[in-house]
Amino acid sequence: MRKCSLLFVLVVLTAAGCAPKVTRMEPDKVVDFSGGWNDTDARLVAQEMIKDCLAGPWVNEFTQKSGRPPVVIIGAVKNRTFEHIDPGVFITDMEQVLTNSGKVIFVASKDDREEVRAERSDQQAGNTAFPTISPKGLETGADFMVQGSVHSIKDALRGRYAVFYQVTLELVDLKTNQKRWIGQKEIKKVVERPAVKF
């Protein structure tokens, strides 16, 4: 009985010693543990792309010609790097700021549209009150599509490595296939790992 109690205490103490320590901090604080792609890199990309995109002449040219803001859809932004990178993190930031600026209108992406269309079809199946049914055939068509890629190059030697990221976004006119804006952000890091001493 005594051995069981002692074992139980040891298990509890061991488990308590393995409990993680959590520190909350501001989301914009730079934290680099591995040297790989992280939230700071995504934020830097979003900031650069937003500034560059709004500064380009395409927005005012389209608005003056058509009398309305351009409508944009997000296409594929491909990760061509050696690590997991979710382009959706910086793309969502871009959509938010550009939409809230009032200068650009975004429509739902291909995957999001399928969910919305399924809901619209469900409304018209007969279970939704008529005045509240969203009719088909009134979707807003996009004028431009954003496409892009994330590339990386890594060079390593004896516990040190340099990693270079290049994010490129292109705005394509859906009527003419012309590239009306190309944005690019480059990030380079040098990571040194301490030597293991025995």
Which range of residues forms the domain containing residue 99? 37-121+138-192
pTM > 0.95: yes or no: no
143 in a structural domain:
yes
CATH code where residue 42 lies: 3.40.50
Q: What backbone torsions phi and psi does residue 176 show, to the nearest 5 degrees? A: -115, -10
* pLDDT tens-digit series, residues 11-53: 555 555 566 787 776 777 777 777 789 999 999 999 999 999 9
* pLDDT tens-digit series, residues 47-82: 999 999 999 999 999 999 999 999 999 999 999 999
Residue 194: predicted pLDDT: 72
150 in a structural domain:
yes
Give the pairing of strands 144-157 and 105-106: unpaired
State how many domains the chain has: 1
Q: Is the pLDDT at 192 greater than 90, yes or no?
A: no
* H helix or E strand, kind and range, residue 162: strand 160-173
At residue 171, the 3 state secondary structure works out as: strand
5 in a structural domain:
no
78 in a structural domain:
yes
Distance CA 189, CA 194 (A): 16
* pLDDT tens-digit series, residues 102-137: 999 999 998 889 999 999 998 888 888 888 989 888
17 in a structural domain:
no
